[in-house]
Amino acid sequence: MGDCKSAIPLSEGDENLITAAQRIVEALKTKKIFMDDERKILEELGTRLSSITKISENKDEMWLSEIEERLNVVQDKILNWEVELSMICDSGSEEAYGYAKAVDETRKLIERLENLCSSRDSDENGILRRACDVLQTAMVRLEEEFRRMLVQNRQPFEIEHMSFHSSEEDIVYENSIVSFGDDSVISNGSEEFVIIDLVHQAVAPALKCIANLMFDSNYDRECMQAYISVRKDALDYFLSILEVEKLGIEDVMKMEWGSLNSKIRRWIWAMKIFVPVYLASEKWLCDQIFGDLDSVSSICFAEASKASILQLLNFGEAIAVGPHQPEKLFRVLDMYEVLGDLGPDIHALYTNDIGLCVRTKCQDVPRRLGDCAKATFLEFQHNVASHVSTNAFAGGGIHYLTRYVLNYMKTLTDYSESLNLLLKDRQ
């Protein structure tokens, strides 16, 4: 904008002042109270003002001619790629840089033309419309390349490095996940996230360059929508790899306990991977591309990922509102503890207004699971107390109810800290 202003000798206010001065001169010339010498001075002043106006117009024409010449050059550069089927970035760094430079120059030419334009029918407006068409063509091409680069350079997430055991053993979450390629670990408060490359690092600078060009050209919405759409699909695909189904309350209510137990165990395993590894890596990718664009990174991350994390949290909510069967207590406590551990991570990732629904759900679901655990424990207590047996146990051994209660309570000792917290207000 600074270069453009220095190229224009007179501003619109200056031209208006000149016009007003000329009118005053003409008016004074008609007054007969002035002497001949005074009238000559006024005539000379009027002549000088007219010449200044002509110089201003000539310089405008000169700068307009220069702008049109540069526009022809960048237009050829941009439109030549419209007949190419290959990606601009695949043609080499020099060609890609040349294209980006042409786009940026087009944007700057538009700014200069907007300052020159004074009427709808002027030549400047015709050139301005052509420049805007060239820029729009470039933006469409850059958006297409932005999407394609994000999709084609997606890095596979090696699921075989993580093991899920569906037997009655505890879930195994192996530390070998931190050995992926050039992974790094970033610290967030007292927690650590494992960061992996979700998109090949070689294309990250190009993606950032395209994003900056589109934002500078006021095509920020198109850029953000393209990113959110592609990364949302990637997150959905990863959930499918984890075999996490989208289950509602009605689905959970109809499910047999054996099948539901397996779903809960897989959910716990998936949460331990999805939040501290995949979501943290997704946020890192957003920061790499949009880190220079204020709060855009947080917005894109939240919009792309909130549906996936809400899907996982909704399953926890569905479990919490189900029947209070005693056998569910251990799994409900498992879910409660996992969300307690991951809650700070989730809050740290979703810090803006768009992430408010995630933060709210992350607070609400553990509370519901805690209420469910308390109700289930009391239901267990009630069932034991209401069981009446008038017959002696055959063979004089340990009564099956006694054996069941002892085993149940022994298992609950593994959750003593959580249970003490949940039951502290109850006798």
Q: What is the CATH number of the domain that holds 300?
A: 1.20.1280.170
Residues 241 and 189 in one domain: yes
In this prediction the pTM is 0.75
- 349 and 314 in a single domain? The answer is yes
Q: Is residue 413 part of a domain?
A: no
Same domain, 215 and 338: yes
Do 213 and 148 share a structural domain?
no
Shared domain for 127 and 49, answered yes or no, is yes
Q: For residue 219, count CB atoms less than 10 angstroms from its CB and return exposed for 0-12, middle for 13-18, buried for 19 or more.
A: buried
Q: Identify whether residues 236 and 336 lie together within a single domain.
A: yes
198 & 68 share domain: no
Q: Which of 120, 152, 184 is the last residue of a domain?
A: 152
Q: Same structural domain for residues 227 and 116?
A: no
Is residue 135 domain-shared with residue 280, that is, in the same domain?
no
Please indicate, yes or no, if residue 291 is contained in any of the structural domains: yes
Residues in the chain: 427
Q: Do 140 and 217 belong to one domain?
A: no
* Whether residue 347 is found in the same domain as residue 258: yes
| Residues 143 and 204 reside in one and the same domain | no
Count structural domains, the chain. 2
Domain extent for 28: 2-152
Residue 47 lies in a domain: yes
Q: What is the pLDDT along the chain (427 residues), one digit of tens a residue?
A: 333 333 334 444 445 555 555 555 565 555 544 455 555 655 555 555 455 444 444 445 557 788 888 888 888 888 877 656 556 666 667 777 888 888 988 988 888 888 776 554 566 678 888 989 999 999 999 999 999 999 999 988 765 445 554 433 333 333 322 223 333 433 343 346 788 899 999 899 999 999 999 999 999 999 999 999 999 999 999 999 888 888 888 888 888 888 999 999 999 999 999 999 999 999 999 999 998 887 899 999 999 999 999 999 999 999 998 788 888 899 999 999 999 999 999 999 999 899 999 999 999 999 999 999 999 888 887 777 776 666 666 666 666 677 778 878 887 888 888 888 888 755 4
